[in-house]
Amino acid sequence: MESSGSEKQSVRVTILSRPYTLLATGDPSEVEQVAARVDDLMHSIREKVPKADPTTIAVLACMQFAGQLRLAEQEVEELRQRKDTRSGEYAAMLDRLITTVEELAV
């Protein structure tokens, strides 16, 4: 979420049937969307592990999100490496092209 100023707004959300009031410095709808995603995941976990207490459900949700974040970070790193490789290839091609043009100009 990108901050659009330092003014904080209260945002009411419900996660696992419990209301929370959060302070948001950005778009309140982004906070609501994130809370809805957390709520959906926690309800999904509760359906699969009905005897789990809310703390256990929250930890399992955190683990799931952490795993997703880790995969996203790996994908970003792979994309950076591919970009760096491609940039090097393009720079070499450009150098060869410049050399060829200079040779033809002589």
Average pLDDT over residues 35-55: 97
Average pLDDT over residues 63-88: 96
Cα separation of the two ends of the chain: 56
| Separation CA 50–CA 39 (nearest Å) | 15
pLDDT, residue 90, reads: 92
Higher local confidence (pLDDT), 106 or 96:
96
- Is residue 105 over pLDDT 90? no
- Is residue 3 over pLDDT 90? no
Return all residues near 73 (Cβ < 8 A) that are at least 6 apart: none
